[in-house]
Amino acid sequence: MQRRHMLRLIAGFPMALVTAGWSNHAQAQVTRGFDTVARAIATGEERQRQPDLRVFEVQYKLPRIVWVEITDPQTGEQQREQIWYLAYRAANRALASREDDTNTTPVNVLDPLPGPNQFIPEFTLTTYDQQGSDQPLQQYLDEILPEAAAVINSIERRRPSDPVFLDSVNIVQPLPPAVPPEEKDVDWIYGVATWRNVDPDTDFFSISMRGFSNGYELRPGPDGESLTWRNTLVQQASRRGDRFDPDQIEFEYTAPPEWVYLPDPEPVAVETP
């Protein structure tokens, strides 16, 4: 009896492996690598405060690196650089409506923007010396690198019919209509954020994504004037690798994506001659 039982287990073992492998493959086919999902969510207080609130659903892959020959626009010379990038897709999701019982009085008094709303994403990569630190080391803004975008599309697009990943300038467009949360047939907006000159010794970092929500709050500033805080999607991440083996860097997300309110960055002073 024991021998017969063992034979049945052994006979069933390969099928279990095949089934598990097919399940993983099917999941990969469905998500197409966009395994991290930030749902379009908002509290009743947020909807009460801002009736025109919108929040995108954002799906993205793990960050990756790619080596690209970048042309210096001043000299025309090319230099091989390591580019960090994040491939993503987004959809404007309708927020589920529900009554708010917080008796919140709307406080936002900003004038409406003229003309049609625009989808304008912005990405900032911030490095830290340890996980969970609130003391940033360096910040890197998403840069428009056509040569990098071409290489990235050659990697991420498996078929000619696949959508093109647009950089943060070419992706700017009128705000698409909101689709219901349960809608599966969605016209996704595909994009890619790229960063150059990231410290090769970086171990911990976060990616802040603006433009995927128009939510804001007015909060008092240190000088008594109101400051604008924007609803921002933040993803914490880490990397395993080093400057001596840059082709074997492994990225991972260390926490779920989170919608938080962050202050508008201070304007950069420009010196005039």
Q: pLDDT tens digits, residue range 98-121? A: 544 444 445 555 555 445 589 999
Whole-structure pTM value = 0.80
Please state, in angstroms and rounded to a whole number, the distance separating the CA atoms of residues 58 and 212: 8
Please state, in angstroms and rounded to a whole number, the distance separating the CA atoms of residues 157 and 162: 6
How far is the CA of 178 from the CAs of 181, 186, 216, in angstroms? 9, 10, 19
Q: State pLDDT tens for residues 207-259.
A: 999 999 999 999 988 888 889 999 999 999 999 876 666 666 789 999 999 99
Q: Is the pLDDT of residue 272 over 50?
A: no
For CA atoms 200, 201, 206, 210, the dihedral sign is negative
- Identity at 254, one-letter amino acid code: T
Q: Is the pLDDT of residue 32 over 70?
A: yes
Q: Is the pLDDT of residue 162 over 70?
A: yes
Query: How large is the average pLDDT for residues 77-84?
Result: 94
Query: How large is the average pLDDT for residues 191-201?
Result: 95
Please state, in angstroms and rounded to a whole number, the distance separating the CA atoms of residues 197 and 148: 13
How far is the CA of 104 from the CAs of 52, 221, 262, in angstroms? 16, 21, 21
